């Protein structure tokens, strides 16, 4: 079946009526635009050029964004099924255009359904968490919506990742564009979070850099502050572990993946492991589980520290929060010991 392609909003995404191919077009040597040319004409001419491209003969990447790079230099001629309008900005060069494709470099996948992205016109990077992911499960939407609700309702905290924006559209899972619901209902596609560039706490724990000096005690306090902020607002993390703590540009510890509903069995407290469905446990049980996981993280940090005093402090607090023989101390007591 031919790829019948039309240009969508902002001139960046191309789609066919029954299957969508997401394409961004980049010119390496764009034609010179005469001074005073309206932006509306520039857009119309770009739309016209895209409609003239024979996408049946262009290799497009599935389940991601393809960047189509156009130039007047290169080996592969851009396949055309028609010529642009004679008054088009591209009329004089369309027959000489060359191309190659690659996956859109502005979208860097760091985990299934989680990408580092850049917004057009904004040099900053963001994390995009999306519903539309490989091996999609119906509960994925609810998990994402639950995390979003938590982030929207929580007052700002320096120790918790900041929500930047939600991303919504018409239903992306309808069978065909022609079947679209005329009501214009909006569906959650995902949300944008601030991006922290220095990896995760797990990366630091596994680092083999002998010259690196990591602020383990400060990070422990920041993690505790973040957890305490969650608990004071009736939210539990549910999946606290070293890979769900990122390190900011200023070397601060930031909690991510806040209370979405997933959990990692290896990070469950002993009293939760024997439970048939931990997600049914009450809030108080998950508070204790968060504190247990915090203690396990402190134990890992103590093992990685080269400072004897710091090691002893972290191990002491770890033994009080992740003890198998006694009840864990409250988080505010752990904070007092670490301060």
d(CA 305, CA 223): 17
Instruction: Please give the domain boundaries of the chain with CATH numbers for all domains.
Output: 6-105 (no CATH), 106-195 (3.30.200), 197-339 (1.10.510.10)
Q: Give residue 198's pLDDT.
A: 92
Q: What is the pLDDT of residue 194?
A: 94
Per-position pLDDT tens, the chain of length 339: 333 333 333 334 444 445 566 777 777 777 777 888 887 888 788 888 888 999 888 888 766 667 788 888 887 899 999 999 888 888 888 888 998 887 665 556 667 678 888 777 777 888 888 876 555 566 667 777 888 888 988 888 999 999 998 887 665 555 555 555 555 566 777 889 999 989 999 999 998 887 788 999 999 999 999 999 999 999 999 899 999 999 999 999 999 999 766 788 888 888 888 888 888 888 998 999 999 999 999 999 999 999 999 999 999 999 999 977 668 899 999 999 999
Report how far Cα 118 is from the mean position of its chain's Cα atoms: 11
| Partners of 187 in beta bridges | 169
Distance CA 221, CA 329 (A): 15
Cβ burial of 48 (10 Å; 0-12, 13-18, 19+) is buried
CB 115 within 8 A of CB 109: yes
Q: Which pLDDT score is estimated for 199?
A: 92
H-helix segments, 84-156: 138-153
């Amino acid at each position: 079946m031919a790829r019948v392609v039309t240009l969508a909003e902002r001139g960046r995404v191309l789609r066919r009526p029954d299957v969508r191919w997401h394409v961004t077009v980049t010119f390496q040597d764009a034609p010179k635009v005469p001074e005073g040319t309206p932006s509306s004409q520039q857009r119309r001419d770009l739309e016209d050029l895209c409609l003239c491209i024979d996408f049946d003969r262009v290799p497009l990447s599935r389940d991601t964004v393809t960047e189509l790079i156009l130039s007047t230099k290169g080996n592969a001629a851009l396949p055309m099924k028609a010529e642009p309008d004679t008054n088009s900005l591209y009329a004089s060069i369309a027959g000489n255009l060359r191309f190659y494709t690659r996956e859109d470099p502005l979208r860097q996948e760091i985990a299934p359904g989680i990408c580092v992205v850049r917004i057009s016109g904004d040099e900053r990077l963001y994390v995009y968490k999306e519903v539309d992911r490989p091996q999609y499960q119906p509960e994925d939407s609810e998990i994402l919506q639950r995390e979003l609700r938590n982030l929207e309702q929580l007052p700002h905290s320096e120790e918790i990742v900041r929500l930047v924006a939600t991303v919504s559209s018409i239903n992306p899972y309808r069978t065909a564009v022609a079947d679209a619901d005329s009501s214009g209902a909006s569906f959650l596609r995902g949300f944008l979070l601030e991006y922290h560039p220095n990896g995760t706490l797990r990366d630091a724990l596994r680092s083999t850099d002998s010259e690196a000096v990591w602020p383990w005690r400060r990070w422990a306090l920041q993690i505790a502050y973040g957890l305490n902020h969650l608990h004071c607002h009736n939210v539990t993390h549910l999946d606290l572990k070293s890979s769900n703590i990122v390190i900011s540009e200023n070397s601060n510890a930031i909690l991510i993946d806040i209370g979405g509903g997933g959990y990692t069995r290896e990070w469950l407290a002993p009293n939760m492991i024997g439970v048939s469905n931990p997600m049914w446990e009450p809030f108080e049980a998950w508070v204790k589980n968060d504190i247990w996981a915090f203690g396990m993280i402190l134990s890992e940090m103590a093992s990685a520290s080269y400072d004897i005093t710091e090691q002893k402090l972290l191990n002491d607090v770890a033994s009080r929060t992740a003890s198998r023989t006694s009840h864990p101390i409250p988080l505010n007591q752990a904070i007092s010991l670490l301060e």
